[in-house]
């Protein structure tokens, strides 16, 4: 059996751990650049605030209702996520991390679990995360990932302290399928939902009862058939516990790309500003690569114009380079990225967004030659340089030591985050103070 543990309203919950007076009050957290609402407390949902709503449109109503608003604080959320995962890994060695606030747990073969009963075990997971980290969760348990997602969704209807649902029998599975609207099934999005409803498929049960050939024809071929089988209890989605098992710096299998993109605080026209941004994103992506013990063969530079402006024409412009050898060296990658950027930029165009994707990933350390023709000795020196740079930045904070091309900091292209909470858990200067 597979359990899905989901921290609902995770970012809001993280803020509440350090500001408990916000318990029971409406709270929202904004996306990067203070753009959209991406996490909402139950109270904020009840007031009608929608996922993804633009902040500048919601602001008057947020003020009117006295909603507490936070810019996103990813250093805090990432650290809290690691704490949750540490607790989960005490319940099973096989944890498949799906996102910052969700993980699948393989409970098959857990003797304690069999002894205590699935329901009690799932409840214990929920209670322990709450006690040790202070983050509320819901737990759904079922034979497949898709059914575990479905169980998790239904579990959230329970009162906060009982958000656990196990689908062990055929009766329980069918009852759950019948109670789930087709639009709420994992893998059915805004395009397929209306199409299926038009064909008379209103619930997950209706879909599970359809024929395989019908599903293949109307639901994106093999992807739809996989979903249909999972709903019927047949495992089609791999359980991949590699992410948590890997030591930091060891190669992480399963990952195909690393991206860093940002919208600008203001549209940018100058090559100087764009190149600072691209150099900064490249160095952040390269850091992530090294953290995962990977090197990249392919680099893509992206520039985006105003995607909300009327009119046609491409909104994103990309340029791809295939590197002669895979690398995770920030300096080498910045050099290549800026060269491509120069080809991509059209003078006078206002860009709203830029980014870098590193793909064609392979475990680091396989390359014997540098793309710039460095000797083996020079290559080793550069790798040591990167290791020291990462160590310094880990100790003294991101960007303490960086390449000159990333600029002096505090530039107009950087986004807004005007309402960020403190780095309670990752900065000595901002530790949470408890006064007696």
Partner DNA sequence: TCTGGGGTCCTAGGACCC
- Binding-site size for DNA (CB under 7 A) equals 56
What is the spatial order of strands in the sheet that 351-363 belongs to? 257-268, 351-363, 294-304, 316-327
60 binds DNA (CB under 7 A): no
How far apart CA 40 and CA 72 sit, in angstroms, is 12
Helix (H, G, I), strand (E, B) or coil at 356: strand
Q: Which of 181, 222, 369, 392 binds DNA (CB under 7 A)?
A: 222
How far apart CA 137 and CA 132 sit, in angstroms, is 12
- Comparing CB distances to DNA, the nearer of 357 and 370 is 357
223 binds DNA (CB under 7 A): yes
Helices marked H in 89-203: 111-116, 118-133, 145-155, 170-179, 192-198
CB-CB contact of 355 with 299 (8 Å): no
136 binds DNA (CB under 7 A): no
Binding track over 357-376 against DNA, x by CB under 7 A: x-------------------
DSSP 40: E
- Comparing CB distances to DNA, the nearer of 260 and 389 is 260
101 binds DNA (CB under 7 A): yes
User: Which positions from 274 through 293 interact with DNA, judged by CB under 7 A?
Assistant: 288
98 binds DNA (CB under 7 A): yes
Q: What are phi and psi of 7, to 5 degrees?
A: -85, 95
Contact range with DNA by CB under 7 A, out of 105-113, 167-175, 228-236, 248-256:
248-256
CB of 117 to DNA, least distance (A): 27
Residue at token pair 């990813």: 74
Helix (H, G, I), strand (E, B) or coil at 17: helix
- Comparing CB distances to DNA, the nearer of 119 and 184 is 184
Q: Are strands 138-142 and 164-166 parallel, antiparallel or unpaired?
A: parallel
262 binds DNA (CB under 7 A): yes
Residues that bind DNA (CB under 7 A): 6, 31-33, 35-36, 38, 52, 54-56, 98-99, 101-102, 149, 185-193, 221-223, 254-263, 266-267, 288, 308, 313-320, 322, 352-353, 355, 357, 415
């Amino acid at each position: 059996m597979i359990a899905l543990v989901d921290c609902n309203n995770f970012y809001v919950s993280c803020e509440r751990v350090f500001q408990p007076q916000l318990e029971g009050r409406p709270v929202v957290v904004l996306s990067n650049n203070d753009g959209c609402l991406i996490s909402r407390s139950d109270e904020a949902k009840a007031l009608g605030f929608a996922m993804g709503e633009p902040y500048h449109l919601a602001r008057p109503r947020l003020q009117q209702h006295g909603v507490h608003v936070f810019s996103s604080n990813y250093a805090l959320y990432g650290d809290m996520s690691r704490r949750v995962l540490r607790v989960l890994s005490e319940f099973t060695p096989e944890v498949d991390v799906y996102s910052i606030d969700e993980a699948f747990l393989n409970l098959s073969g857990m003797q304690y679990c069999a002894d205590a009963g699935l329901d009690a075990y799932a409840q214990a997971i929920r209670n322990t995360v709450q006690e040790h980290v202070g983050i509320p969760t819901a737990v759904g348990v079922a034979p497949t990932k898709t059914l575990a997602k479905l169980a998790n969704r239904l579990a959230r209807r329970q009162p906060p302290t009982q958000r656990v649902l196990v689908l062990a029998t055929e009766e329980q599975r069918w009852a759950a399928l019948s109670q789930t609207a087709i639009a709420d099934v994992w893998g059915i999005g805004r395009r397929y939902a209306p199409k299926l409803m038009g064909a008379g498929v209103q619930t997950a049960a209706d879909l599970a009862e359809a024929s395989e050939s019908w599903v293949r024809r109307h639901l994106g071929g093999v992807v739809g058939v996989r979903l249909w089988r999972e709903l019927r209890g047949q495992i089609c989605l791999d359980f991949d516990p590699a992410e948590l098992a890997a030591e930091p710096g060891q190669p992480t299998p399963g990952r195909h790309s690393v991206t860093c993109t940002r919208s600008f605080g203001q549209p940018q026209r100058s090559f100087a500003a764009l190149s600072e941004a691209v150099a900064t994103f490249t160095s952040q992506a390269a850091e992530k690569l090294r953290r995962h013990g990977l090197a990249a063969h392919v680099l893509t530079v992206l520039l985006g114009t105003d995607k909300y402006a009327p009119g046609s024409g491409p909104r994103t412009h990309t340029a791809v380079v295939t590197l002669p050898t895979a690398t995770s060296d920030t300096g080498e990658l910045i050099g290549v990225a800026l060269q491509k950027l120069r080809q991509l930029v059209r003078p006078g165009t206002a860009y709203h967004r830029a980014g870098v994707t590193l793909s064609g990933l392979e475990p680091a350390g396989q390359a014997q030659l540098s793309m710039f023709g460095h000797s083996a000795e020079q290559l080793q020196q550069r790798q040591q340089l990167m290791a020291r740079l990462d160590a310094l930045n880990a100790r003294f904070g991101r960007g303490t030591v960086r390449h000159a091309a990333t600029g002096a900091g505090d530039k107009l292209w950087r986004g807004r985050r005007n309402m960020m909470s403190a780095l309670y858990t990752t900065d000595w200067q901002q530790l949470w103070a408890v006064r007696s």
